[in-house]
Amino acid sequence: MTRRGRPTLAAVAAEAGVSLATVSKVLNDRTDVSARTRARVRVVLDEHGYEPTAHRGARGRWLVSLVLPALDSPYALEVLRGVTASELDVVVCSLADSTATAPWTAQVLAPGRAGTIAVVPELTPAERGLLAGARTPCVVVDPTSSDPQLPSVGATNRAGGFAATRHLLDLGHRRIGVIGGPRQVLCSRERVEGYAAALTSHGLPLDPALVRSGDFHHAGGLAATRALLALPSPPSAVFAGSDEQALGAVDAARQAGLRVPEDLSVVGFDDLPVSRWASPALTTVRQPLAEMGATAAAMLLSLLDGVPLDQPQVELPTRLCVRATTAPPPRTSEGRRRPQAAVA
């Protein structure tokens, strides 16, 4: 606790293997020191009592904006969890709170913000221009398009859609519905493309009546599944495109007196915690959202340290998680499709 007996800053510099100027920069919270060097110098400074413990972690950390589409989905929470686990100080802005007098772009361009991690389904040309003019680095999570100019972190959505559909085909399903998210969203289009590719690889035609669009939320999954179940020849399985939509699909099945998975199989996408809390637990395609957030944070840190990215477009792998909402199709469509209420 006493400051007497501490080594000089020159001795600290020698111990940390850096110049005295660098030690001085770290002490003064200057940002032109790489994160790695800063961490090393700070450890040595701390060992010798140069920094009060309480300030150590937060001083000299970059303050960045994390822009999320809305804070109404566990999807946002997963990404946030990954980003905050980094060495960044993260100001959270929601597009849902954006107003004419306080637009979200103002947050991003606010003085003191070193950079941005953006999870925004769509940018208007004006917003794109503003961000481009911000002169602070930006990394996009779940990009809406493959823009080689824009550092981004996505997931292998096409492979995920393929795996989900192949799982249902392997169980014996032949009429499989798919519910995408909003049509303009890249990740959604890719999942539906994966679905189509799996059908093709099984020599099955694509029936446009089985391809629906949702909003990625419960309501969208509920409405689209109702429509699918009302078809003259309804599907025996639904690949729901997101976990929330899958929960809506399960709800639609229950409301129609169908059991999941005995009468209708359902596959989600995301592997949000809620997919494991559902009863029965959801079969789903895991996309590592927290890891995507953490990767975006690491990329932003690198850019802030002036280190160019080896790989500006990163795609993390998705993985099928088979749980309890998928099973072989009912043997006869009419024989097993009896309402549960009549049984109980």
Among 124, 279, 311, 332, binds a second copy (CB under 8 A): 279
Q: Taking CB under 8 A as the rule, does residue 155 contact a second copy?
A: no
Among 6, 48, 59, 323, binds a second copy (CB under 8 A): 59
Give the span between the Cα atoms of 129 and 112, in whole angstroms: 20
Shortest separation between residue 55's beta carbon and a second copy, angstroms: 6
Give the span between the Cα atoms of 177 and 168, in whole angstroms: 10
Among 278, 285, 300, 327, binds a second copy (CB under 8 A): 278
How many Cβ atoms are within 10 Å of 311's Cβ, its own excluded? 8
- Candidates 96-104, 166-174, 182-190, 192-200 — which segment interacts with a second copy by CB under 8 A? 96-104
Half-sphere exposure of 140 (CA within 13 A, CB side): 23
For residue 238, give every residue at least 6 positions away whose Cβ sits within 8 Å of its Cβ, in sequence order, or none.
176, 177, 178, 179, 225, 228, 246, 249, 264, 265, 266, 267
- Candidates 15-23, 94-102, 139-147, 170-178 — which segment interacts with a second copy by CB under 8 A? 94-102
Among 97, 193, 305, 315, binds a second copy (CB under 8 A): 97
Shortest separation between residue 48's beta carbon and a second copy, angstroms: 15
Q: Taking CB under 8 A as the rule, does residue 46 contact a second copy?
A: yes
Lookup: tokens for 319: 């993985």
Q: Taking CB under 8 A as the rule, does residue 1 contact a second copy?
A: no
Among 36, 233, 276, 307, binds a second copy (CB under 8 A): 276
Give the span between the Cα atoms of 50 and 12, in whole angstroms: 10
Give the span between the Cα atoms of 141 and 291, in whole angstroms: 11
- Candidates 20-28, 151-159, 178-186, 240-248 — which segment interacts with a second copy by CB under 8 A? 240-248
Torsion of CA 188, 90, 301, 69, to 10 degrees: 20
Among 17, 273, 317, 339, binds a second copy (CB under 8 A): 273
Report whether 248 contacts 218 (CB < 8 A): yes
Report whether 136 contacts 171 (CB < 8 A): no
Measured from the CB atom, the residue of 103 and 312 that comes closer to a second copy is 103
For residue 153, give every residue at least 6 positions away whose Cβ sits within 8 Å of its Cβ, in sequence order, or none.
139, 140, 141, 142, 292, 295, 296, 299, 314, 315, 316
- Candidates 9-17, 49-57, 137-145, 175-183 — which segment interacts with a second copy by CB under 8 A? 49-57
Instruction: Write out the residues near a second copy by the rule CB under 8 A.
Output: 29, 43, 46, 53-59, 61, 63, 71-74, 76-77, 80-81, 84-85, 87, 89-94, 97, 99, 101-103, 105-107, 109-112, 130, 218, 244, 247-248, 250-251, 254, 259, 262, 273-274, 276-281, 340, 343-344
